[in-house]
Amino acid sequence: MPEHKNRFAALEKKIKKAGLDAFLISTKDSIFYFTGFRYEPFERPFFIIVRPGAKPVFLTPRIEAENMATIAVPHEIVEYIDYPAPAGGSYLEALQSVLPSDAAIGVEMSITGELLVALAEWSPQVLPFVEQLRMIKSPTEIAAVRKAAKYSDKGLKLAMKFAHLGGTISETDRANALLRDEITREEGYLDPYISSVWQGIWAAPYSAQPHRFPEPEDTLIEGPNVGLSFLRVNGYSAETERTFFVAPPQPEDAEVFNTMVEAGRIGFSQLRPGVSCHDVDHKVMEFLRSEGFGNNLLHRVGHGIGMGGHEGPWVAEGSDDILQESMVISIEPGIYWRGQGGFRHSDTVLITADGYELLTDMPHDVVSMTLGR
Q: Using one digit for the tens of pLDDT, what is the confidence trace for 234-268?
A: 999 999 999 999 999 999 999 999 999 999 999 99
Whether residue 159 sits in one domain with residue 78: no
CATH code, domain carrying 225: 3.90.230.10
Average pLDDT on 30-57 reads 94
Whether residue 290 sits in one domain with residue 209: yes
pLDDT of amino acid 172:
81
Specify if 370 maps to a domain.
Answer: no
CA distances for 270 relative to 33, 109, 266, 284, 358, angstroms: 30, 29, 7, 9, 14
Whether residue 37 sits in one domain with residue 171: no
Residue 169's domain spans which residues?
Answer: 136-358
Specify if 373 maps to a domain.
Answer: no
Q: Using one digit for the tens of pLDDT, what is the confidence trace for 84-132?
A: 999 999 999 999 999 999 999 999 999 999 999 999 999 999 999 999 9
108, 134, 160 - which closes a domain: 134
Whether residue 169 sits in one domain with residue 42: no
pLDDT of amino acid 173:
80
Query: Against a cut of 0.85, is the pTM above it?
Result: yes
Burial of 114 (0-12, 13-18, 19+ CB in 10 A): exposed
Specify if 20 maps to a domain.
Answer: yes
Whether residue 323 sits in one domain with residue 195: yes
Whether residue 58 sits in one domain with residue 98: yes
Whether residue 140 sits in one domain with residue 130: no
In the chain, the N- to C-terminal Cα span, in Å, equals 51
* List of residues 6+ apart from 9 with CB closer than 8 A: none
pLDDT surpassing 80 at residue 337: yes
pLDDT of amino acid 1:
63
Whether residue 159 sits in one domain with residue 75: no
Q: How far apart are CA 346 and CA 231, in angstroms?
A: 13
Whether residue 11 sits in one domain with residue 38: yes
Specify if 251 maps to a domain.
Answer: yes
Specify if 315 maps to a domain.
Answer: yes
pLDDT surpassing 90 at residue 41: no
Cis link prior to 128 (omega < 30° from 0)? no
103, 134, 165 - which closes a domain: 134
Specify if 365 maps to a domain.
Answer: no
Whether residue 101 sits in one domain with residue 10: yes
Specify if 227 maps to a domain.
Answer: yes
Specify if 258 maps to a domain.
Answer: yes
Whether residue 103 sits in one domain with residue 34: yes
CATH code, domain carrying 126: 3.40.350.10
Number of domains present in the structure of the chain: 2
Whether residue 210 sits in one domain with residue 108: no
